[in-house]
Amino acid sequence: MDQDAEPAELPQPAAAEVALAEFEIAEPVTLSGLAADLMRHAPPRLGRGWCRYGLGLAAAALLSSGFHMVAAYRFGAFFHRCKLYPLSFLVEKFIFHWYYCVIPSSVKIGPGLWAPHPLGIVLNSRARLGAGVYLRQHAEIVHVWESDDVCSGVVGDRAQLNSGCILVKGGVVGHDSIVGARAVVNKPVPPGHVAVGAPAKSKPMRPEQFLDRTPRWV
């Protein structure tokens, strides 16, 4: 990579909002979505070579409460798409009473959702999350309202929502962005930015912050 090349100009909040307003979540087939979710939850450094991946996947499938919660959502979303609403309702109640999370089956979530600590997560029924999103405990998307000039509740690919953050009216998170713990997002966060504070203020992400955000085994 050319070290002297100028970095690409990041879009301004208004441009990011327009881009994400048109961002469509490609809901994966249930089994392919589960496979991507399982890879995200697999712990690293268990053995070597293929044994490492096999042990990691087995550990995630058997022991990861995050994967179990995400798998339940995938089946609930499948029932919802098939218009088996009583079954999707039962799955939603299971997630609520077992994990204290509110994740409606109508939520659109791309493959590879990573929720290592599934506790107190609240998503609005019209929320949209991209592929490879990192979702920590007590993250909330509490208000989703769309009109000609406002888009809310959209989270781009590989974004990270940290503990206790809240997306309210106008809250949109761009691709590869990070929302800090307990941040209150009420306006678009451009791609590749970090948002902290209440209300959240965005600033460009440093190059080193792109490192170690995604586990090496993914």
Instruction: Kindly report, residue by residue over 17-75, the tens digit of the pLDDT.
Output: 444 545 556 566 677 788 888 888 877 655 455 555 677 777 778 888 899 999 999 99
In a domain, 122, yes or no: yes
In a domain, 2, yes or no: no
In a domain, 169, yes or no: yes
In a domain, 55, yes or no: yes
- pLDDT of res. 103: 94
Per-residue pLDDT, averaged over 92-103, amounts to 94
In a domain, 217, yes or no: no
Give me the residue label for tokens 């994967």.
67
Per-residue pLDDT, averaged over 91-108, amounts to 93
Beta strands in 59-218 (DSSP E): 108-109, 122-123, 128-129, 134-135, 140-141, 154-155, 160-161, 166-167, 172-173, 178-179, 184-185, 193-196, 201-204
51: domain CATH number?
Answer: 2.160.10.10
- Provide the Cα torsion 176, 181, 182, 188; round to 10°: -10
Of residues 187 and 213, the one with the higher pLDDT is 187
Count of the separate structural domains present in the chain: 1
In a domain, 10, yes or no: no
C-alpha 212/C-alpha 209 separation (Å) is 8
Per-residue pLDDT, averaged over 172-181, amounts to 90
Q: List the domain range (segments joined by +) for residue 91.
A: 25-204
Provide the token pair at 146.
């769309």
Whole-prediction pTM value?
0.78
Determine the angle formed by the axes of helices 85-99 and 65-81, rounding to 10 degrees: 160
In a domain, 87, yes or no: yes
C-alpha 74/C-alpha 117 separation (Å) is 17
In a domain, 9, yes or no: no
